[in-house]
């Protein structure tokens, strides 16, 4: 048994299972929900097996077709990809379970194949070690995300989906042109080989600029965030959860890989400062707009814009503690933001709208949902004990250690803004309104999944040493000082 787990290529299962699941959901729509649930279970088990394999035998690469790079494509399985795959599996499971209750039947039939393809695309992206393969995975992710956004069919959803589509296509095209320049300079598309070959040159400047701009657009860094709030606000709640929690992280992951492996270290300083400045702007702008938002999902979407600003603060800091901090932030934000969107979905299911001032004693009617939202808010604010707190602590520590204290200042201001808008929502949940509307009972399953995700993000704050240790598999950086 031990031998099977440590030698079987679990990463391949993670990619093939959702693809196979998507095909079967398309062929047999009547049993789609069971097929989807089994696929997601298989994914979760595979991630666990992959984790066991990585922890016992260390990181490794899988040469597809038996052809090693640079001729073939290689899959990278190391600590960083393991953590991204893990959070995708957990959030994916929660959203799958939640969706069985959320969607009306007709939409549900169209949801399953698209959703499983999105999961497959994300898994393929997190495992890929080849620049062009990453482009195809990014396109697959983007198209699936847009199709899911447009699923509710309303006017706002369609318009925001179209804007999202153009943004994602522009981002991919820019990224691809960068890949073209790098391939024709250094003769390989493989990340590990390029890590050894890339040297400073004007072509690398252009390629860096193009790829960073494209990926920053896909990650919605201020001022390229314009497409995100309408898209995440008008998509169906489980889709918004997936978009904010996972899809936005995918392009950031690619940028991080490129930054750490491919871009030559001497050339990245200026770009890092630019990212830091834009991150601070994102924190202020996102926080301001979240406070002004009248609808809950729009507020949560602007919160994502703000948190993306945090992610980009790691680039000017560029030290191990900062990377560990931002990766931990990726994980805890994914769990907390998904929980928030699922809670918002519950409220919409219950009262038919998400206008914050018109909440009618949600605290009494949906106590579990409110608890989920509040717990998720704790992580977003960065209060102990939560994953968000550990992450922010690591980043503040890095910022003070390197003498660039102004980033710590931005982090703290951001936390204050987050506290303000979380309390705004929680406060309105206790109030009454004069206008009473129709209410629907929310299935218990939906409330439980939201709460479970929120609890997981708190849990990340209590068991920080394990994930941080797993990040070190593959030797990209050490989180020793953090533990």
Partner 1 sequence: MVCCRQTATRLASGTSRRGQRCEPDNQRCDATRDQDVDAQNLTQWIFDTLTGLGLLCLAWMALASSQLIKAIVLFVAFGLLMALTWVRLDAVDIALAEVAIGAGLTGALLLAALAKLTAVQTATSKAAHRSPKDRAARKLYRMPAALLLLVAAGLAYSVLSLPLNSRGLSIEVGANLDASGVGNPVTAVLLNFRGYDTLLEIFVLFLALLGVWSLGSLPPHRIEPAGPVLNTLVVVLAPLLILLAAYFLWAGAHGPGGAFQAGATLGAAGVLLQLAGWKPGPGFARLPWKLILLAGPALFILFALFTLVTGQHLLEYAPERAGILILLLETGATFSIGLTLAALFFGERPDDAEGR
Partner 2 sequence: MTTELLYALVGVGLFSLGLYALFVRANLLRKILAVNVMSSGVFLVLVALARRTGAVAPDPVPHAMVITGIVVAVSATAFALMLMLRIVQETGRAELPDTWSE
Residues that bind partner 2 (CB under 8 A): 132, 136, 139, 143, 146-147, 150, 153-155, 158-159, 161-163, 165-166, 169-170, 173, 176-177, 180, 183-184, 189, 226, 229-230, 289
Rank residues 29 and 443 by Cβ distance to partner 1 and give the closer one.
29
19 binds partner 1 (CB under 8 A): yes
List 48, 55, 140, 173, residue binding partner 1 (CB under 8 A): 140
Is the peptide bond preceding residue 398 cis, with omega within 30 degrees of 0?
A: no
List 150, 300, 320, 446, residue binding partner 1 (CB under 8 A): 150
Judged by beta carbon distances under 5 to 8 A according to partner kind, the member of partner 1, partner 2, none in contact with residue 267 is none
Reading the block at residue 21, the tokens are: 């699941």
Reading the block at residue 56, the tokens are: 């016992």
Judged by beta carbon distances under 5 to 8 A according to partner kind, the member of partner 2, partner 1, none in contact with residue 16 is partner 1
How many angstroms separate the CA atoms of 215 and 142, rounded? Answer: 12
Rank residues 231 and 237 by Cβ distance to partner 2 and give the closer one.
231
5 binds partner 1 (CB under 8 A): no
Rank residues 66 and 266 by Cβ distance to partner 1 and give the closer one.
66
Rank residues 156 and 463 by Cβ distance to partner 2 and give the closer one.
156
206 binds partner 1 (CB under 8 A): yes
How many angstroms separate the CA atoms of 53 and 387, rounded? Answer: 25
C-beta separation of 78 from 54 below 8 A: yes
List 41, 60, 205, 448, residue binding partner 1 (CB under 8 A): 205
Rank residues 132 and 448 by Cβ distance to partner 1 and give the closer one.
132
Reading the block at residue 299, the tokens are: 């507020």
* Beta bridge partner(s), residue 74: 63
Closest by CA position to 354, among listed 211, 455, 232, 451: 232
* Beta bridge partner(s), residue 346: none
Judged by beta carbon distances under 5 to 8 A according to partner kind, the member of partner 2, partner 1, none in contact with residue 169 is partner 2
Closest by CA position to 334, among listed 220, 242, 411, 251: 242
Rank residues 26 and 448 by Cβ distance to partner 1 and give the closer one.
26
Rank residues 139 and 447 by Cβ distance to partner 2 and give the closer one.
139
* Beta bridge partner(s), residue 76: 61
Judged by beta carbon distances under 5 to 8 A according to partner kind, the member of partner 1, partner 2, none in contact with residue 72 is partner 1
- Give the chain's count of helices (H) and strands (E): 22, 2
352 binds partner 1 (CB under 8 A): no
Reading the block at residue 52, the tokens are: 């066991």
- Region from 145-153, 263-271, 409-417, 424-432 binding partner 1, contact rule CB under 8 A: 145-153
Residue owning tokens 């931990």: 328
- One symbol per residue from 107 to 126: x for binding partner 1 (CB under 8 A), - otherwise; what is it? ---x--xx--x--xx--x--
Q: Give me the DSSP letters along 56-77.
A: HH--EEEEGGGPPTTTS-EEEE
- Region from 30-38, 70-78, 257-265, 436-444 binding partner 1, contact rule CB under 8 A: 70-78
Calculate Rg over the CA atoms of the chain: 21
Rank residues 167 and 378 by Cβ distance to partner 1 and give the closer one.
167
285 binds partner 1 (CB under 8 A): no
Collapsing DSSP states into helix, strand and coil, what is residue 355?
strand
CA–chain centroid gap for 380, Å, is 14
How many angstroms separate the CA atoms of 468 and 318, rounded? Answer: 17
What's the residue count for the chain?
483
């Amino acid at each position: 048994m031990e031998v099977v787990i440590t030698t079987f290529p679990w990463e391949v299962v993670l990619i093939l299972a959702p693809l196979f699941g998507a095909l079967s959901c398309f062929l047999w729509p009547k049993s789609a929900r069971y097929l989807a649930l089994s696929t997601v279970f298989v994914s979760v088990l595979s991630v666990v097996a992959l984790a066991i394999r990585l922890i016992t035998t260390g990181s490794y690469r899988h040469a597809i077709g038996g052809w090693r790079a640079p001729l073939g494509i290689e899959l990278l399985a190391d600590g960083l990809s393991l953590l991204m795959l893990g959070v995708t599996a957990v959030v994916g499971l929660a959203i799958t379970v939640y969706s069985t209750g959320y969607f009306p039947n007709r939409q549900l039939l169209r949801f399953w194949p698209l959703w499983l393809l999105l999961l497959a695309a994300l898994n393929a992206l997190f495992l890929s070690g080849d620049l062009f393969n990453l482009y195809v995975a990014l396109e697959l992710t983007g198209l699936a995300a847009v199709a899911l956004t447009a699923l509710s069919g309303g006017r706002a959803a369609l318009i925001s989906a179209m804007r999202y589509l153009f943004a994602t296509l522009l981002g991919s095209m820019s990224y691809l042109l960068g890949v073209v320049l790098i391939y024709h300079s250094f003769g390989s598309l493989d990340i590990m080989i390029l890590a050894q070959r890339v040297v400073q040159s004007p072509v690398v400047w252009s390629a860096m600029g193009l790829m960073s701009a494209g990926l920053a657009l896909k990650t919605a860094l201020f001022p390229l965030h314009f497409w995100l709030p309408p898209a995440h606000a008008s998509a169906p709640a489980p889709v918004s959860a997936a978009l904010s929690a996972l899809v936005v992280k995918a392009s950031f992951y690619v940028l991080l890989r490129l930054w750490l492996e491919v871009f030559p270290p001497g050339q990245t300083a200026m770009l890092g400062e630019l990212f830091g400045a834009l991150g601070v702007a994102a924190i202020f702008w996102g926080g301001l707009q979240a406070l002004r938002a009248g609808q809950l999902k729009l507020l949560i979407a602007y919160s994502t814009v703000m948190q993306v600003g945090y992610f980009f603060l790691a680039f000017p800091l560029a030290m191990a503690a900062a990377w560990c901090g931002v990766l931990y932030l990726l994980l805890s934000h994914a769990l907390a933001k998904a929980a928030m969107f699922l809670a918002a979905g519950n409220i919409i299911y219950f009262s038919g709208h998400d206008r914050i001032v018109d909440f009618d004693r949600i605290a009494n009617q949906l106590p579990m949902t409110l608890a989920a939202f509040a717990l998720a808010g704790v992580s977003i604010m960065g209060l102990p004990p939560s994953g968000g707190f550990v992450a922010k602590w690591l980043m503040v520590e890095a910022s003070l250690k390197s003498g660039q204290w102004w980033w710590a200042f931005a982090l703290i201001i951001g936390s204050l803004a987050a506290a303000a808008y979380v309390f705004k929502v929680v406060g309105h949940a206790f109030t009454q309104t004069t206008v009473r509307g129709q209410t629907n009972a929310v299935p218990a399953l939906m409330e439980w999944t939201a709460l479970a995700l929120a609890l997981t993000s708190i849990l990340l704050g209590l068991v920080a040493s394990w994930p941080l240790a797993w990040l070190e598999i593959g030797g990209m950086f050490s989180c020793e000082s953090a533990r």
